[in-house]
Amino acid sequence: MVDLISAIDGMVCVWNAYFWRIAFVFLIGLGIVFTIKLKGIQIMHLGHNAKLALSGVGEGKGKKKLSSFEAFCISMGARIGVGNIAGVATAIVTGGPGAVFWMWIFAIIGSASSFMESVLAQIYKEQKTDGGYHGGPAYYATKGLGSRKLGIFVAMLLVLTFGVGFVMVQSCNASNALCGAFDFENNNIVFAVAIAAIASLLVFGGFKLIGKFSSTIVPIMALLWIVFAVIAMAFNAGNIGNAIGMIFAHAFDLPSIIGGGIGTIIITGLKRGVFSNEAGLGSIANVAATSDIKHPVKQGKIQSFGVLVDTLLVCTVTALVILSYGSFDAIMAFGDKGSVLVQDVISSTPLGEAANYIIAVFMFVFAFTSMIGYYTMSESNARFIKDSKVTVNLVRIIVIIAALVAAIIADVTIVDDISDTFMAAMASVNMVIVALLSRQVFEAYADYRNQRKQGVEEPEFHKKTLSDSTGVTEWE
Amino acid sequence: MEAISKAIGVVGVVAVLLGIAMAYIERHNSDLNLAFVPLIIGFAVIFVFFYLIEKRGNDRYGKIKERF
């Protein structure tokens, strides 16, 4: 069994390396282009973007469609999860403290890509018989580029990335955190079965109700995580300056204890950053499409702000908790990564063993709320391919098996490699499609800006604004 | 297919190949700095890729009116 897992990991590792270098060129190259074209909208309009994200509370009430604020909360629920805790710990162990610096840089670049994909998702969204809006990469590829085959390919890739890869990471980290808190013989098997059983209950019934609950609970849990992390950090307050110093000092070189080169730091920062904020992956575009707003650009601005909140705020807090423990060698001496490392560090403070249980609860809630989000996205894309019970049940079985296998393997490295490979393929394909349809986004943005310049407080969008509105079925 | 659409396709494939070259050099060569050569060329190619997409749009529909 161990040999088989090692063989699979060896193979995936090679694919992972090649796919990520391709994704790197597209994610960062196009992210820079979008940032330049949009004149740094994510930073220059930060205040306005934040105001938009928090001001749509009253929109869309009493309708089946979501308000932009609700869509923001749901997307933050999807973003904030295991990646913000375990992902940051893994980034620091594999890429050194400097990986955090690159996570920041790529979050800033990625938020322009998030703007682009969210605006596209809004432009090409479609109202279904349930009264709600649906959209995302599969929709804009099909309707914008006029290729149903490409849409199906993208939908399949999305199911693999989120229904398999991301579910595996969530399940593995939740299992590890539980094993770290409750130590007994064969605990990983027990927790794997428990996780798979709960996942089965969720996907075969009731996930919609819990999905709504999770969109409410996750922002609260994220705030609680920040409070908990700040308390943990306060015990090592004297080391915070050193922690920040380590991030910058190791931005261009790896600590000798890890070895390797700057490529490792940069790629680690990119992988873990993208896993956390999901910029350019197309997942947030699926959520962005569901909101009922007057102008697509509004949702783009809100989602680009979400990327920054996720990485620059939540991930940074986790990074500072870990790095304020002491020297990098002392952190590496734990010999752990992922959520277990966070448990090691925080349980060494006066919070003691209680920290293990608290973190296990956070990981458990985040893992399941994210899994629900990923499952919902996978089901929606599976329905895009073929809207039948067989397809939906197939996706459900795939998700449950992925959760079970990952929790049994309980090896963060292997599971990360599998997830990263799918993520790289998804990001590359999505970014190329976004680039090919970028004119529509720039035209929508020009329209938004023109209306704002004319003093319109809340710009409205009509599809006639676009020079080519083929495939746009809403916005009459 | 228009010549410019073909060019966009070709440049996109070149960008993919440069990513592969970067990974290959990293895996088979101890000199990591060498791996940054295809990466930098890759970024340049992405700029060309985007320029061609923009040019195709401008040729078909004209320049976008608002400059921001």
Name the closest residue on chain A to residue B11, using Cα atoms.
A432
Specify if B68 maps to a domain. no
Specify if B24 maps to a domain. yes
More confident position, B53 or A64 = B53
Name the closest residue on chain B to residue A260, using Cα atoms.
B32
For residues A284 and A114, the answer to whether their CB atoms sit within 8 Å is yes
What's the pLDDT band for A100 if we cut at 50, 70, 90?
very high
Q: Is B63 at the interface with chain A, CB within 8 A? A: no
Disruptive mutation site among B49, B58, B63, B65 for chain A (greatest number of A CBs within 10 Å): B49
ipTM of the complex: 0.92
**pLDDT the model gives residue B30:** 66
Name the closest residue on chain B to residue A428, using Cα atoms.
B16
More confident position, A212 or A197 = A197
Instruction: Report the domain count for chain B.
Output: 1
Disruptive mutation site among A12, A18, A21 for chain B (greatest number of B CBs within 10 Å): A21
**pLDDT the model gives residue B33:** 66
Disruptive mutation site among A22, A106, A447 for chain B (greatest number of B CBs within 10 Å): A22
Interface of A with B (CB under 8 A): 14, 17-18, 20-26, 28-30, 32-33, 38-39, 261-263, 428, 432, 435-436, 438-439, 442-443, 445-447, 449-450, 467-468
Instruction: Examine the pLDDT at A180 and tell me if it is beyond 70.
Output: yes
**pLDDT the model gives residue B32:** 65
Specify if B37 maps to a domain. yes
* Of the candidates A394, A455, A430, the residue with the CA atom closest to the CA atom of residue A285: A430
Tokens of A52: 């938009």
Q: Which of A17, A18, A439 sits opposite B57 (nearest CB)?
A: A439
What share of chain A has pLDDT > 90, as a percent?
35
| Pairwise CB contact (< 8 Å): B61 & A436 | no
pLDDT (tens digit per residue) in A335-381: 888 888 998 999 998 888 888 889 888 888 888 888 878 888 888 89
| Pairwise CB contact (< 8 Å): B46 & A436 | no
**pLDDT the model gives residue B11:** 93
| Pairwise CB contact (< 8 Å): A21 & B26 | yes
Cα angle value A417/A418/A424 (rounded, 5°): 80
Domain that holds residue B26: 3-60
Specify if B65 maps to a domain. no
Q: Is B68 at the interface with chain A, CB within 8 A? A: yes
A60-85: average pLDDT: 68
| Pairwise CB contact (< 8 Å): B23 & A17 | yes
Q: Which residues of A touch B23 (CB under 8 A)?
A: 17-18, 20-22
Q: Which of B12, B26, B66 sits opposite A263 (nearest CB)?
A: B26
| Pairwise CB contact (< 8 Å): A17 & B18 | no
What share of chain A has pLDDT > 70, as a percent?
92
List chain A domain ranges.
9-465
Lowest mean pLDDT among A107-121, A151-165, A177-191, A217-231: A177-191
CA A339 to chain centre: 17
pLDDT (tens digit per residue) in A205-257: 655 566 566 667 777 888 898 899 999 999 988 999 999 999 999 888 776 66
Pick the CATH number of A9-465 from 1.20.1370.10, 3.30.70.100, 1.20.1740.10, 1.10.10.10: 1.20.1740.10
